Amino acid sequence: MGDKKSPTRPKRQPKPSSDEGYWDCSVCTFRNSAEAFKCMMCDVRKGTSTREEEVSSLHCKELPGLV
């Protein structure tokens, strides 16, 4: 075959330094320190998915009288 090179893509720009050292909770959106393993506001573990059924079950546990 040939010596064709694929077109080069621009490199990703690093995140602004203001975002370093933090992660945003996927459930309540609180900005936590990078060292935190769970959200300081809602106790959801870092990296928890926000798929509909998981979020719904979380809210049902918090509000048992409304189910």
Instruction: Give the other-Cβ count within 10 Å of 5's Cβ.
Output: 6
Measure the CA angle with vertex 29, ends 26 and 19; round to 5°: 95
CA distance 39 to 41: 5
Residue type, 21: G
Q: Tens of pLDDT along 6-65?
A: 677 777 655 444 567 999 999 999 999 999 999 999 999 998 877 654 445 555 555 566
Give 55's contacts (C-beta < 8 A, 6+ positions apart). 27
Task: List strand residue ranges (DSSP E) for the chain, in order.
Answer: 22-24, 31-33
